[in-house]
Amino acid sequence: MIQDRQLREKLVALNPSNPHILKSSAFLIFVADLKRTEKVAQHYDRAYQTEMSLDPLLTAVTDTALALENAVVATESLGLGCVVVGSLRRQIDQVATLLKLPDHMLPLAGLAIGKPITEMKVKPRLPQKVVVHYDTYQDYDYQAIEQYDQTMEAFAEARETKRWSVKFADYFAAEPNFLVDKFIQMKKIYQPNKKV
Q: For 102-135, how does the pLDDT look when each residue is reduced to its tens digit (9 = 90+)? A: 999 999 999 999 998 777 778 899 999 999 999 9
Kindly report the pTM of this predicted structure: 0.86
pLDDT at 196 over 60: no
Give the per-residue pLDDT at 67.
Answer: 98
Q: Does position 194 have pLDDT exceeding 80, yes or no?
A: no
Q: What's the confidence (pLDDT) of residue 195?
A: 65
Helices 143-155 & 164-173 angle (0-180, nearest 10):
110
Provide, rounded to the nearest whole percent, the portion of the chain with pLDDT above 70.
96
Nearest alpha carbon to residue 188 among 98, 46, 57, 84: 57
Find the mean pLDDT for residues 170-187: 89
Tell me the C-alpha distance between 105 and 57, whole Å: 10
Average pLDDT, stretch 154-179?
A: 82
Q: Write down the pLDDT at residue 153.
A: 86
